[in-house]
Amino acid sequence: MHSLKKSFAIAALAAVAVLAGVSASAYASSFGPQLPGQMSLRPVPPGTHKLTLSVLHTGSGGSLAAGFNTIDSTSFSCGNAAGCTYGFNTMVQVGPQSASGVLWAICAVADGNYASPGCPYQGAIPTTNYSVGGSRQSITVSQGTHTLSIQVYVGAASTLGEFETDYLQYKP
């Protein structure tokens, strides 16, 4: 009888683990698109960071294919031996979209790594008007030259309106 209780307990724990995994993945996917490849989120370490450089990029117009679209890219040099933290303050306008319910997101990328907190969904693109979204993201990198990019994820082909990104360089 004892082994039957033990078997039941193991089966129950396994079922909970499976359900927790399903719930966790469903929960995570509701906040943003699945990031491509093995690109990882790299959070900023705690502490005070001093702003050392700020660069503003603006642009407008274009087509967005379904998936991830790089809309802006620039290079920065981090001369600090302890590394640098980059902040991205981005505003993007998208739409209109012929299909209803098409989700979209703004993503910040440094050297192929997605900044934290990933690519949160901005909502659904309207069918008759433009939608504007904003995002603040950050990532810490090592000393050296780095390529920083802004991507817009759209669930279906869409239109890019205006955009602006403030690229911010901090040192610890």
| pLDDT tens by residue, 96-141 | 877 888 999 999 999 999 999 989 999 999 888 899 999 999 999 9
Tally of CA atoms within 13 A in the half-sphere of 72 that contains its CB: 23
The pair phi, psi for residue 40, each rounded to 5°, is -110, 155
83-103: b (≥16 Cβ within 10 Å) or e: ebbbbbbbebbbbebeeeebe
Whole-model pTM?
0.74
Segment 165-170 mean pLDDT: 96
Per-residue pLDDT reduced to its tens digit, 73-97: 999 999 999 999 999 999 999 998 7
Instruction: Answer yes or no: are the C-beta atoms of 160 and 100 closer than 8 Å.
Output: no
Cα–chain-centroid distance for residue 72?
Answer: 14
Residue 153, pLDDT > 50, answer yes
Cβ pair 152, 71 in contact under 8 A: yes
What is the pLDDT at residue 29? Answer: 39
Q: Which pLDDT band holds residue 28 (cuts at 50, 70, 90)? A: very low
pLDDT value at residue 135: 96
pLDDT greater at residue 71 or residue 31? 71
Beta strand segments in the chain, E: 50-60, 63-64, 67-78, 84-94, 103-110, 113-114, 121-124, 131-141, 144-154, 158-171
What would the pLDDT profile of 43-69 be if each residue is shown by its tens digit? 556 667 789 899 999 999 899 999 999
Res 47: pLDDT: 66
In the structure, what pLDDT confidence band is assigned to residue 39 with cuts at 50, 70 and 90? low
